[in-house]
């Protein structure tokens, strides 16, 4: 499956959003970088999966707590409370995207060097526990 041009732009926006959020946290919760990262991240998600599917993803009944925490954290960042906003965002992010962690772990285990590292005996058990995997696919 090939990505459309809009999806490629969405991947770039999401990546830059994550980078700006990481920089914002590393620079002692710089509100401007965190706010820019949030806007880029949400815009990228909307471009990758489409606005209607993004709305339905965030509005699903089983994701409403995560959505409210994530959007509340973004609001706190915009209201100049970046430390508490990032904490609330992180909780919302884990609730929203926690189901994807086993899929990401399975993908990472197929990468050349990272996969060998993640398949080592003790690291494998810890990674499975962190990702919430019951059994590994490899």
For 43-54, the DSSP string reads HHHHHHH-HHHH
Q: What is the pLDDT of residues 29-48, one digit of tens each?
A: 999 999 999 999 999 999 99
pLDDT band, very low/low/confident/very high, at 136 (cuts 50, 70, 90): very low
Site of tokens 């965002």: 89
Q: Does residue 113 contact residue 103 with C-beta atoms inside 8 Å?
A: no
CA distance 19 to 34: 10
Closest CA to 86 of 12, 48, 33: 33
Q: Which of 26-30, 99-103, 134-138 has the lowest mean pLDDT?
A: 134-138
**What does the pLDDT read at residue 2?**
85
Q: Does residue 105 contact residue 118 with C-beta atoms inside 8 Å?
A: yes
pTM: 0.81
Nearest-5° Cα angle at 66, 85 to 131: 100
Percent of the chain with pLDDT over 90: 84
Q: What is the pLDDT of residues 66-92, one digit of tens each?
A: 999 999 999 999 999 999 999 999 999
Q: Which residues contact 94 (CB under 8 A, 6 or more apart)?
A: 66
CA distance 46 to 55: 8
């Amino acid at each position: 499956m090939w990505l459309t041009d809009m999806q490629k732009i969405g991947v770039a926006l999401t990546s830059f959003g994550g980078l700006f959020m990481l920089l914002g946290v590393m620079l002692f919760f710089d509100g401007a970088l965190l706010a820019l990262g949030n806007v880029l991240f949400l815009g990228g998600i909307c471009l990758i999966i489409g606005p209607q599917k993004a709305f339905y993803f965030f509005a699903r009944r089983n994701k409403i707590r995560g959505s409210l925490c994530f959007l509340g954290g973004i609001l706190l960042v915009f209201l100049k409370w970046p430390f508490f906003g990032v904490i609330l965002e992180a909780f919302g992010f884990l609730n929203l995207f926690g189901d994807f962690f086993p899929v990401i772990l399975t993908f990472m285990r197929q990468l050349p060097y990272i996969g060998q590292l993640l398949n080592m005996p003790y690291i494998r058990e810890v990674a499975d526990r962190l990702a919430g995997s019951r059994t590994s696919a490899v």
